[in-house]
Amino acid sequence: MTAATHHPASSAPTTRQPAKPGRITSLDWVRGLFLCVSVSSVSVLAPRPRWLQHASWIGVRFEDLIFPVFVILSGCGLAFAYRNQVGWWATLKRSVVLLVCGLVFNMVDAQTLDLSQLRWAGPLQVYAVLVLVIGLLHRVVRRPSAWVGVTLGLACVQAVFLYVWQSGCPGHGLTPTCNPSDVIDRAWMGSDHMYLHGAGGHDPEGLVSTFGALVTACAGTTAGHLALSARGSWKAPARLLGWAATTAAVALVASQFLPAMKRLWTTPFALGVGSLGIVALAIGMAVLDLPAPKKWQEARPRLAWPWVALGRNSLFVYFGSHLLVLVLLHTGGDPSNAEQLSDRVDLLGNHRQVSFVIAMLVLWAGLAAVLHRRRIYLRP
């Protein structure tokens, strides 16, 4: 990753360029709130409660929502970035860096350098593909209305594909032994490079689920363009709420034919979780970005600052917190370094899980605050 720092403008004469849209505080604020939840979730040591474990197949638990919410907010951020005319080379470089980091992450997780057994897919790889595809789409799709069409079009293609596939399964339902991921992802990766080496019958970050993640990311990108099209007025959150209602309605219709599940990132799940992130952004925009009484307008930047600091380095904090906990769990023997550290920071008495979560939150919030104070933002 590289650090982007911001410096005062040079006094040298330059060619006058159109002003770029400034940052929208609500997006960073919502990202910050999300990161508090994410860091807390990944820091809960075993035994983890059921709701902090992924659903084994069909169904949605709290843990299933965390990465998809990151995807929807990232989609919003990509809309802002491409409105500021991010170059194609920067997009390609970011995707390559993310892919490499994802493979390194998998090596740490598997504790092996054996490439013949290394899992190829993962959340960072999914994110890399989304960045690349959204960048490509921005070369031809720019208007908010066009993004609405792209999102709903992709959702319809995905829904029809999954529905046709499940119609050929015994009992007309998607199962670990009859689903498109078991065929498509096994064909291009091979069992040795799949999730659980193919024993799960699917890969939750394979090509099939990445297509669902693209639907979610496009819903977020659409929300970003809708917000930018009316920023500074109440039309912006109103348009966001209208878009959230649309995605929720389509998700509800799709749920009559397909199950909602994170394992294959099905259409009801892709658009349903998208609507949650869009509503959160609309609320944040109404509170933080619209004209307000003088006292509140002066107070809200200070009140939002800790969460904005986290949100400005969202990718670094999100994946960095996962990597740190993974390393702590895999080192130190029995008990692991994570368990040893949780005992040392337990100031509450027999509440080492809670104490460890608080310690991780303080660590990452403090690091993000220092970086934000120095205007250092780590990106691929």
pLDDT tens for 250-300 read: 999 999 999 999 999 999 999 999 999 999 999 999 999 999 999 999 999
pLDDT band (50, 70, 90) for residue 82: confident
| Predicted model pTM | 0.92
User: Looking at residue 4, what is its pLDDT?
Assistant: 55
User: Looking at residue 19, what is its pLDDT?
Assistant: 41
In three-state form (DSSP H/G/I as H, E/B as E, the rest C), the secondary structure along the chain is: CEEEECCCCCCCCCCCCCCCCCCCHHHHHHHHHHHHHHHHHHCCCCCCCHHHCCCCCCECCHHHHHHHHHHHHHHHHHHHHHHCCCCHHHHHHHHHHHHHHHHHHHHHHHCCCCCCCCCCCCHHHHHHHHHHHHHHHCCCCCCHHHHHHHHHHHHHHHHHHHHHHHHCCHHHCCECCECHHHHHHHHHHCHHHCHHHHCCCCCCCCHHHHHHHHHHHHHHHHHHHHHHHCCCCCHHHHHHHHHHHHHHHHHHHHCCCCCCECCCCCHHHHHHHHHHHHHHHHHHHHHHCCCCCHHHHHHHHHHHHHHHHHHHCHHHHHHHHHHHHHHHHHCCCCCCHHHHHHHHCCCCCCCHHHHHHHHHHHHHHHHHHHHHHCCEEEEC
Least confident of 1-15, 40-54, 67-81: 1-15
The residue ranking higher by pLDDT, 231 or 249, is 249
Is 161 a residue whose pLDDT tops 80? yes
Residues 212-225: what's their mean pLDDT?
A: 98
pLDDT tens for 322-342 read: 999 999 999 998 899 999 999
Is 11 a residue whose pLDDT tops 90? no
Least confident of 69-73, 143-147, 332-336, 346-350: 346-350
pLDDT band (50, 70, 90) for residue 12: very low
pLDDT band (50, 70, 90) for residue 233: very high
Residues 73-85: what's their mean pLDDT?
A: 87
Is 7 a residue whose pLDDT tops 80? no
pLDDT band (50, 70, 90) for residue 56: very high
pLDDT tens for 86-136 read: 777 888 888 999 999 999 999 999 988 888 889 999 999 999 999 999 999
